[in-house]
């Protein structure tokens, strides 16, 4: 074969291998629009109305629990804030507080991690409503070599790690890891 033909075949092979798109499972996109569920390293503000000594900010530990006065360890990961409030309410009703009114809100979300072709890769605080583009701006923006159309996003869904390529307008969640690829040309 002629060298020119070999170069053309090699170039086409490279382009077809680079165009592979890691399409995430349908659950990945469904997770983007579901209510937020609590995860380890989140901090929640729990208010028991009329009970100032129980109202405080609590951190969810690595095991997914938080230690709450009177009732002990409460499993928090995988629960929405409303579900956690109902669990605490029902356990407090078991002889500790008459007709407790419990409210739970996220005080501090877990971080987002950014890697690859950004100016300051690292761990960043999550704010509700953030998109991939917002968190990349927080990480100092794209480098000159960055592929700016889409990024790889890794997220834990129902205890399973899933990855997929998303547009920079996609919403992010606490605990997500973003990887910005280098462009080819």
What is the average per-residue pLDDT within 21-45? Answer: 72
**Whether 118 and 88 share a structural domain:** no
Average pLDDT of the chain, as a whole number? 85
pLDDT in tens, 98-115: 999 999 999 999 999 999
DSSP string, 141-153: -B-TTB--SEEEE
Answer yes or no: is pLDDT of 35 > 90. no
Number of domains in the chain: 2
Q: Report the pLDDT averaged over residues 32-54.
A: 89
CATH number, position 53: 3.30.1950.10
- 3: pLDDT strictly greater than 50: yes
Split at pLDDT 50, 70, 90, the class of 26 is low
Residue 10 is assigned to a structural domain of this protein: no
Query: Residue 126: which domain range?
Result: 24-34+110-180
Please name which of 65, 21, 23 lies closest in space to residue 42, comparing C-alpha atoms.
Answer: 65
Identify the pLDDT of residue 24. Answer: 52
């Amino acid at each position: 074969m002629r060298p020119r033909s070999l170069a053309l075949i090699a170039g086409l092979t490279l382009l077809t291998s680079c165009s592979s798109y890691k399409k995430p499972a349908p659950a990945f996109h469904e997770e983007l629009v579901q209510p937020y569920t609590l995860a380890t390293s989140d901090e929640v503000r729990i208010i028991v109305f009329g009970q100032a000594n129980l109202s405080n900010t609590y951190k969810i530990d690595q095991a997914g629990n938080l230690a709450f006065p009177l009732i002990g360890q409460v499993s928090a990961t995988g629960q929405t804030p409303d579900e956690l409030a109902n669990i605490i309410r029902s356990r407090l009703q078991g002889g500790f507080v008459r007709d407790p009114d419990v409210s739970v809100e996220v005080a501090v979300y877990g971080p987002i991690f950014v890697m690859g072709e950004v100016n300051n890769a690292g761990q960043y605080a999550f704010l509700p409503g953030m998109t991939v583009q917002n968190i990349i701006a927080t990480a100092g923006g794209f480098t000159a070599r960055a592929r700016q159309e889409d990024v790889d996003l890794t997220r834990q869904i129902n205890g399973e790690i899933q990855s997929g390529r998303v547009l920079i307008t996609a919403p992010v969640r606490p605990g997500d890891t973003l990887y910005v690829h280098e462009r080819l040309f």
